[in-house]
Amino acid sequence: MESNSPEPKSEVAMRAPAGHMMSPTDPDNPQNWPLTRKIYASTVATAFAFAVAFGVTSLTVGIQGVMQEFNVTMTMAVLGLSLPLFGIAFAPIFTPHLSERYGRSPVYLVSLPIFALFILGAAYSSNFGALAVCRFFAGFFGGPCLVLIEGTFADVWPASSTVTYYSFLSLASYIGAGCAPLVLGAVVTAKSWQWTQFVTLMISFGVYLFGIGVPETYPREILRARARRLGHSIQLSKAESGVTFAEMAQTTFFTPLSMAVSEPLVIMVTLYLALNFAVLFQWFIAVPAVLALTYEFTLHQVGLAFIAAIVGALVSTMTSSLTEKITNRQNSCRTGTAMARLEYRLVPAMLGSVGLCGSLFWVGFTASPKINYSVPIVGTGAYVWSSMSVLTGLVSYIFDAYPAKGTLSALTLMATVRILCAAWLPLVIIPMIMGLQGQWAYSVFGFMAAVMIAVPVIIFIYGARLQSRSRHAGRIMSGGSQNMTMGPHDDHEMQMGSGHA
């Protein structure tokens, strides 16, 4: 409500139950925008996430060049991949608070140029220490682009399409990360490792020009901007992410730590996604090494092998979207409502979890000179399909498993932990493969993944019961089946995811 001359539209928006804080009939509500504007806003968010994800994995193609120029070990050179991920791990903690105060568009438009400056610094580093520092801060400042994409999609698209839009936003990070070795394999062969950073700069510049006119999608900022434009004051309800520093720290630091030991739903999903992402990012180190040693692939040929990963991500988007459409349609026929029970968002994860386990044994036992190189390469594509399907199903479920503040805390924990694990495993994967041999190294992950197959099944059966016992789920509707309290349509803008990367 406004203090000077009340504006009926804003007053209705203040009372609206949706997390958008805007009336569903308000023309300024992003969900009421013309389709072209929705697509533009979503495409810009996708492009910014793509550019950062591309930059994160870009240096993996130049590891040999980094080792030779700076006279460092392979483990040290792999820090070129891990350090940006360590930087990105901070983004889920601070990005929601920036978004709450300034909206989404300014954060996008400031984050990417600073990311690009540190990428430029990495290209011109005269020693390994400078390279390491620049890569870390590139991830730290680029991370918000990977975090905000979730909030942007949730602002623009309805909750009934959560699985579909989450699969599309995940595609940005997966394809961005996969395209780096594909594109840069030939470039580095002809030039030098520095060109991994120069090409990232070119992509970032093009993306920035494309997105410079991106409209604001965060409903609270839209309401504030409209009030300023009309010369009115406006009093919005308290931000779920907190207002004071203590409240902000509680929401995105202390509560996530508490959930890590007290919330069975969050613990299971966090552990599964940590394994998922750790294995996902080790491929960027293991695949080049294995293909070069086992099949004598050149750097350019290694890059082409990542086509399988890109295809896997595309197929996951299609299958996840299709399962949501089928479950929603079946539910509409049975109950007359447009959206299926929350638990049915887990279907992609249940399918993907089987593939995740099987693909690890597939790759581990087929990467041999006696077996054609295409077999393990296709196996990595199967892993990527599985990985993205599991991520899409589990995160889409958590979106609405808790009220807004609880969801924000849960997603913060899940994103931070999985990115930290994604940064750690690439540092040790080559010694692990050498020590255990490829078959048993990936069998270890395969057996862990086999245990995790139970996670989406347990949540499907017992999720509503676990929610009802949670102290963070006080406003959840009974049964958890039509739980659309304030879910993703508020301050929820987590991970790559997000990655990711």
Q: Summarize pLDDT for 117-126 with one digit per residue, the tens.
A: 999 999 999 9
Mean pLDDT, the chain, whole residue set? 88
Residue 263 pLDDT > 60, yes or no? yes
Instruction: Give the HSE-up count for residue 327: Cα atoms under 13 Å, Cβ half-sphere.
Output: 21
Structure confidence by residue, pLDDT tens digits, 306-346 = 999 999 999 999 999 999 999 888 876 776 665 668 899 99
Residues 468/264, Cβ–Cβ less than 8 Å:
no
Least confident of 63-67, 137-141, 227-231, 350-354: 227-231
Cα distance between residue 204 and residue 182, in whole Å: 17
d(CA 316, CA 381): 10
Per-residue pLDDT at 266: 96
Report the length, in residues, of the chain: 501
Model confidence at 404, pLDDT cuts 50, 70, 90, reads confident
Rounded to two decimals, the pTM is 0.90
Q: What is the pLDDT of residue 479?
A: 38
Percent of the chain predicted with pLDDT > 90: 75
Confidence of residue 59 (pLDDT cuts 50, 70, 90): very high
d(CA 248, CA 117): 29
What pLDDT score does 374 carry?
95
* Per-residue DSSP letter, 401: T
pLDDT for residue 396: 94
Q: Using alpha carbons, list the distances in angstroms from residue 307 to 45, 84, 174, 314.
A: 23, 23, 12, 11
Q: What is the mean pLDDT of residues 182-209?
A: 96
Dist CA 281 CA 287 (whole Å):
10
Cα three-residue angle 372-375-380, rounded to 5 degrees: 140
Residue with structure tokens 């699985």?
163
- State the pLDDT confidence band at 21, using cuts at 50, 70 and 90: low
CA distance 193 to 129: 16
Is cis: bond before 258, omega within 30 of 0? no
User: Higher model confidence: residue 496 or residue 216?
Assistant: 216
Helix ranges, 296-373 (H): 299-305, 307-335, 347-366
pLDDT (tens digit per residue) in 375-385: 999 999 999 99
- For residue 458, pLDDT over 70 is answered with yes
Residue of 79, 31, 123, 57 whose CA lies nearest to 309: 57
